[in-house]
Amino acid sequence: MESGKLHLMKFHRRWQILSYAEAVLYAVGIAILLYLVSKNLWVGILSFVAALVVLLLIKKPWKHNLVTTGTYVDAHVDEASFSTGLLLQPEDSLSNLAKLQRYKVSEELTKRLGAIHPPNKLKQALLVTLGLVLLGVGVQQLDLFKGVESVLGDSTNETQIQFIATDSINEKSIIPKISKQTISVTYPSYTRKGTIAVSDPNIKAITGATVLWTLEFDNLVTEVYLDRMGELIPLQKSEKGYSLRQLLSESGFYSFKFKNEEGIEFTSDLFSLEAVADNPPEIEILGLEQYTYFDFSDEKIFELESAITDDYGIDEAYIIATVSKGSGESVKFREEKLNFKETISKGVKSVKATKTLDLNALKMEVGDELYFYIEAFDEKQPKRNVARSETYFAVIKDTVGEQFGVEGTLGVDQMPDYFRSQRQLIIDTEKLIKDKPSITSKEFKSRSNELGFDQKALRLKYGQFMGDESEMEEAPSEIESHEEGEDHDHAEDQENILKEYSHDHDGDNEHNLVAAEKAEEAEDPLHDYLHNHDDPEESTLFEESLKTKLRKALSIMWDAELHLRLYEPEKSLPFQYDALKYIQEIKNSARIYVHRIGFDPPPIKEDSRLTGKLKDIKNYRKNETKEVENPFEALECAIARLEQFIEKESTFNEADNALFTAAGNELGQLAIVNPSKYLQVLQGLKRIENNTGRTMNNYKFVQKGLLSALPKTSQIPGAKKEYTDDINSLFLKQLEVYD
């Protein structure tokens, strides 16, 4: 019984699908007919959607249910005995006789429903669709609906070159039209794009491409020219019409001109020529820091991985590595060209190139430095584009170096101990830890506090490079306390006890370092406009990585000083070692690599050297007056003239032709850079010159476009120079914000 109901449901589903298919076929036929008549794709799409919706609302295939399907089966299958409805009722509600009849109907439908077809008119719909398609083809061949194309909007009109007569014509004059136009762009051979046919006269292609125009007219024409920004280039006549081939070397705009048999000149709208530059390759080095340091015992090998891409194809790429040896004036450089592991095929657009750099293989020793970068070329002709990555550094640390020292046997010690280096502080701290069992507690604390001050002096010395000079200001000499009682006396006793153990370097006049009192300075009115190098965040003495390392070193020096002040040199020693490590890295990173260039100084005249004679030295003074040229003078005059046309205060005369021509030349320079913004304005300006667009709407459109082309100026009309204080200046600025 369930099998019979299942077959009934399948029959019902087939009925619905065939009903939907009929509606789709009718809608497709209507859409193809309207598309062929209007020659507009959007008309065809919209008509298909509209016809499908209407047909579905008429046929309503979703209203078919199992009850109507059962009624149809009862009428066409005699064996069902009008008992198909029993399959749709619950089995529990049926009598034994009804159950028996239900079982019989289920068996019959299982056998016979597969051979019965649901009611449909699918063949009729297919024939109607085929007839509509043939009708549309016939209409298109006979061209019976020319007016419909103009009403519905011919899609080819957007790309078809249209011509307008520059002079007045008679009603009987023949106006030639383009019957066929072909525009093809041939790309340079290295791009591997070949020749591409385009339909839009607004051409955008790579620099160096060749553009071929071929125009066929339905009537006889003479003197066909291409006007490229004022340069008239004649088209060559051939069997297929008129053709011209031009090399696209720079952006610009163009139009076509020709004359008919009567000598009347026609011109087209302006179209853009946009030359897109071939970009150089892009290089990205992956997962490698700009500075890499190796100790003498390290394995001096690292992996260089890079991603190189180009828009049309890579020609070659390699690594330029420079090894520097020595120091000072005896430094020597050796440059090598290294190839990648992978073989870079010419023309590939993207490649991942790797290289294992072994410093030992490059014959580098302790203290040597490696500077390397990647250089890549594309296949542009005749001159290739070249790109190079940032320079990366690899350094083998030199932990052994000569340092200046002072012998204890010298009569006078000229080295002030408050400018000890971090290495000296480490040596003195280790000596203090070693001497701790053999000295008194008072001497131990005094020496630890002395080292704490030396650490502070060194920190402030390095802090000057970060703009931390403010930390060296004199601390308040007196601290007033309003507390009374035993707590106050106890604090004074503690202070007196600490004075016995400490050497007060932080006080006044210690080691003849007298801190001058800082006078109050007037507020600088230029403070907001200056680059303050005293600000740590604005200091530009070092690059970002060095500033970060120096700030870490200063932070570690704080911790080292803290433990020395707390008489804990054992805890301070690890921080001092860390600070020394960062300082050494900063010194190595601060080295600057430049190529040596020759310099030949002029010969010195020994007879006049060091004589101090100024006889041949004369003062030079030059006075020159320059007039400021207005590059958009014609545009401003054209805007004013258009305002007179809009207000109907004047009419067009012959002098206006020269004005609008000059304005068009000025606007043409902007249209070359941004054709999408100014090309339509330039077309409207040209229509005014040709007497084909002297309407109020065109006047307003062109005037608005010319106003947007003028550069922004900060001058305020009617403003006078007068004294204003800070309050008035701020008030005027606030008004300009909300203007």
Q: Which two tokens stand for residue 511?
A: 């080691």
pLDDT band at residue 499, thresholds of 50, 70 and 90? very low
Lowest mean pLDDT among 78-92, 565-579, 654-668: 78-92
Residue whose token pair is 């430094």? 331
pLDDT at site 720: 57
DSSP of 532-599: -TTSTTT--SS-HHHHHHHHHHHHHHHHHHHHHHTT-HHHHHHHHHHHHHHHHHHHHHT---------
Cβ neighbors of 291 (< 8 A, separation 6 or more) are 392, 393, 395, 545, 589
pLDDT score of 282 more than 90: yes
Angle, CA 639 vertex, CA 638 and CA 641 arms, to 5°: 60
Q: Which of 397, 377, 399, 372 is nearest to 387 (CA)?
A: 377
- 152-180 pLDDT per residue, tens: 334 344 567 777 776 666 666 677 888 88
Angle, CA 207 vertex, CA 206 and CA 209 arms, to 5°: 75
pLDDT score of 575 more than 80: yes
Cβ neighbors of 723 (< 8 A, separation 6 or more) are none
Q: Which two tokens stand for residue 664?
A: 């068009």
Q: Which of 45, 216, 217, 36 is nearest to 141 (CA)?
A: 36
- In a 3-state reduction of DSSP, which class is residue 651? coil
> Does residue 382 have a cis peptide bond before it, meaning omega lies within 30 degrees of 0?
yes
311 contacts 371 by C-beta, under 8 angstroms = no
Q: Which secondary-structure segment (H or E) carries 426?
A: helix 422-435
Q: Which of 200, 257, 247, 196 is nearest to 224 (CA)?
A: 257
The Cβ of residue 504 has, within 10 Å, a number of other Cβ atoms equal to 12
Cβ neighbors of 101 (< 8 A, separation 6 or more) are 81, 83, 86
pLDDT score of 519 more than 60: no
pLDDT at site 540: 47
79 contacts 112 by C-beta, under 8 angstroms = yes
- Residue of 689 and 117 predicted with greater confidence: 689
Average pLDDT, integer, range 594-605? 66
pLDDT at site 581: 87
217 contacts 241 by C-beta, under 8 angstroms = yes
Q: Distance between CA atoms of 472 and 467, rounded to whole angstroms?
A: 11
Which residue(s) pair with 198 in the sheet?
Answer: 183
127 contacts 25 by C-beta, under 8 angstroms = no
Amino acid present at 571: K
Lowest mean pLDDT among 289-303, 375-389, 477-491: 477-491
pLDDT score of 2 more than 70: no
pLDDT band at residue 722, thresholds of 50, 70 and 90? low
Average pLDDT, integer, range 206-214? 93
Phi, then psi, of 144 in degrees rounded to 5 = -85, -15
496 contacts 489 by C-beta, under 8 angstroms = no
pLDDT score of 403 more than 70: no
pLDDT score of 719 more than 50: yes
Q: Which two tokens stand for residue 124?
A: 């009729």
DSSP 239: T
16 contacts 60 by C-beta, under 8 angstroms = no
pLDDT score of 134 more than 60: yes
Phi, then psi, of 565 in degrees rounded to 5 = -70, -30
Q: Which of 217, 214, 208 is nearest to 190 (CA)?
A: 208
Q: Which of 21-25, 449-453, 503-507, 719-723 has the highest mean pLDDT?
A: 449-453
pLDDT band at residue 622, thresholds of 50, 70 and 90? confident
Which residue(s) pair with 578 in the sheet?
Answer: none
Q: Kindly give the residue spans of alpha helices, DSSP state H, lying in 115-274.
A: 122-142, 146-152
pLDDT at site 408: 44
- Residue of 35 and 721 predicted with greater confidence: 35
Q: Which two tokens stand for residue 148?
A: 């419909």
DSSP 679: H
pLDDT at site 612: 79
- Residue of 556 and 122 predicted with greater confidence: 556
Strand segments (E) across 326-400: 332-338, 350-358, 369-378, 386-388, 392-396
Average pLDDT, integer, range 292-309? 91
Q: Which two tokens stand for residue 428?
A: 């003195």
Q: How far from each other are the two terminal CA atoms of the chain, in whole angstroms?
A: 83
**What's the burial of 209, exposed, middle or buried (CB within 10 Å: 0-12/13-18/19+)?**
buried
Q: Distance between CA atoms of 148 and 159, rounded to whole angstroms?
A: 18
306 contacts 339 by C-beta, under 8 angstroms = no
The Cβ of residue 320 has, within 10 Å, a number of other Cβ atoms equal to 16
pLDDT at site 515: 38
Q: Which of 697, 636, 705, 707 is nearest to 675 (CA)?
A: 705
296 contacts 366 by C-beta, under 8 angstroms = yes
pLDDT at site 9: 66
pLDDT score of 488 more than 50: no
The Cβ of residue 481 has, within 10 Å, a number of other Cβ atoms equal to 10
Strand segments (E) across 175-313: 178-186, 195-198, 203-206, 210-217, 221-228, 231-234, 236-238, 241-247, 252-260, 265-268, 271-276, 282-286, 291-294, 301-309
- Residue of 669 and 277 predicted with greater confidence: 277
Q: Distance between CA atoms of 272 and 676, rounded to whole angstroms?
A: 8
pLDDT at site 562: 92
Residues, the chain:
739
- Three-class secondary structure assignment of 465-505: HHCCHHHHCCCCCCCCCCCCCHHHHHHHHHHHHHHHHCCCC
pLDDT score of 404 more than 70: no
320 contacts 384 by C-beta, under 8 angstroms = no
- Residue of 504 and 223 predicted with greater confidence: 223
pLDDT score of 197 more than 60: yes
pLDDT score of 112 more than 90: no
- 91-109 pLDDT per residue, tens: 655 555 555 556 566 666 6
**pLDDT mean across residues, the chain:** 76
**What's the burial of 595, exposed, middle or buried (CB within 10 Å: 0-12/13-18/19+)?**
exposed
Average pLDDT, integer, range 242-257? 90
Which residue(s) pair with 178 in the sheet?
Answer: 217
pLDDT at site 139: 78
Amino acid present at 685: L
DSSP 228: E
pLDDT score of 419 more than 70: no
- Residue of 41 and 546 predicted with greater confidence: 41
Average pLDDT, integer, range 521-549? 53
Cβ neighbors of 57 (< 8 A, separation 6 or more) are none
- 5-15 pLDDT per residue, tens: 565 667 667 77
Q: Distance between CA atoms of 702 and 680, rounded to whole angstroms?
A: 9
Q: Distance between CA atoms of 211 and 233, rounded to whole angstroms?
A: 14
Cβ neighbors of 415 (< 8 A, separation 6 or more) are 406
Q: Distance between CA atoms of 216 and 672, rounded to whole angstroms?
A: 28
Amino acid present at 698: N
Lowest mean pLDDT among 84-98, 205-219, 224-238, 707-721: 84-98
Question: What is the C-alpha radius of gyration for the chain, rounded to an integer number of angstroms?
Answer: 46
369 contacts 400 by C-beta, under 8 angstroms = no
